Amino acid sequence: MKKHNFSAGPSILPDSVIKQAAAAVLNFDNMDLSLVEVSHRSPQFDAVIKKAQKLTLELADLEGKGYEVLFLGGGASLQFLMLAFNLLPENGKAGYLDTGVWSKKAIKEADIMGESVVLASSKDKGYNYIPKGYNIPEGLAYVHITSNNTIFGTQIKDFPNVDVPLVVDMSSDIFSKKLDFSKFDLIYAGAQKNIGASGTTLVIVKKDILDKTKRTIPTMMNYQTHISKDSLFHTPAVFSIYVSMLYLQWVKDLGGVVEMEKINDKKAALLYDEIDNNPNFIGFAAKEDRSPMNVTFNLTDASKAERFNKLALEAGIHAIKGHRSVGGYRASIYNAMPIESVQVLVDVMKAL
């Protein structure tokens, strides 16, 4: 029976990407060597990472606009601290929008390096909405936002206009829709949700925002270190970067982020329509802030949970349990999720 994988991460990958990656594990680039044993400094892998970087800039429409693309380790969680090391001067202040667990973790790391200023928070309602109409004070080194909140199922629809670097954690919705990516000075995203396998983190940084803090930055934490060595300062996650390259090519072949957005909108509309029209379910996130990537919902009658769970299991539905801090259910319908799998979930909801 086919599994329908709604995991929030590590998450579903396109079938074609899995097949190509599996073949490369056995024999990479006709080298008679496995992908996981080739040197990261070999010309074959050099071609992989350069293609991944080029595809990233193409999909973001940032070619020739002064941006560098890095594939780093440590997940988005390391970026919480790394970006502060590179952008926040000693005794400096940075603005943070508090929209959930991941933004709170980013705020905690920024406070190690300087001072975070919480611009607004949706904590008062359990993070089920995105704050709006907040003021941005002067004197900030940068403004940080989390574009999509995986746990709570909310997404920022309108990004603030600021006159300081705008930093965004796009781990769970990068390349899911068309954006003016040039609005952002630094973008980071753990690959395992929407552009690849776990083990690497994508960073897109505008080079001219660096080297302005006048603080000493540890070698490994300095973006300039990794830019100068083309993400090869130390041994990178070769397999994960290869999978990301395949995934980015898959998005491009589909028609890029414009076509990806159309597909994602159809999937989200299908599932949210069922939640709104089926009396057995209720959505968690405020309607105007709903995420098309992570759909959070609950049963209106908890006594039906056992039957619903059984129906879902029998249909091959995997990983729809909600995060422990929210409860209920969460269906992550990232770029690679086919609409057919969403339809299976909707059919199970109708059958309850």
Structural domains of the chain ordered from first start: 15-254 (3.40.640.10), 256-351 (3.90.1150.10)
For the beta carbon of residue 32, count every other beta carbon within 10 angstroms: 8
CA dist list (Å): 213 to 86, 119, 216:
7, 22, 9
CA 233 to chain centre: 24
Cis status, amide bond into 10, omega within 30 of 0: yes
Tokens, residue 153: 């199922």
Label the pairing between strands 186-190 and 166-169.
parallel
pLDDT in tens, the chain (352 residues): 679 999 999 999 999 999 999 999 999 999 999 999 999 999 999 999 999 999 999 999 999 999 999 999 999 999 999 999 999 998 999 999 999 999 999 999 999 999 999 999 999 999 999 999 999 999 999 999 999 999 999 999 999 999 999 999 999 999 999 999 999 999 999 999 999 999 999 999 999 999 999 999 999 999 999 999 999 999 999 999 999 999 999 999 999 999 999 999 999 999 999 999 999 999 999 999 999 999 999 999 999 999 999 999 999 999 999 998 899 999 999 999 999 999 999 999 999 9
What pLDDT score does 2 carry?
Answer: 75
What pLDDT score does 211 carry?
Answer: 94
For the beta carbon of residue 15, count every other beta carbon within 10 angstroms: 11
Catalytically active residues are 102, 169, 193
- Tell whether the torsion through CA atoms of 21, 37, 239 and 207 is positive or negative: negative
Question: Which H or E run includes 295?
Answer: strand 294-299
DSSP classification of residue 142: -
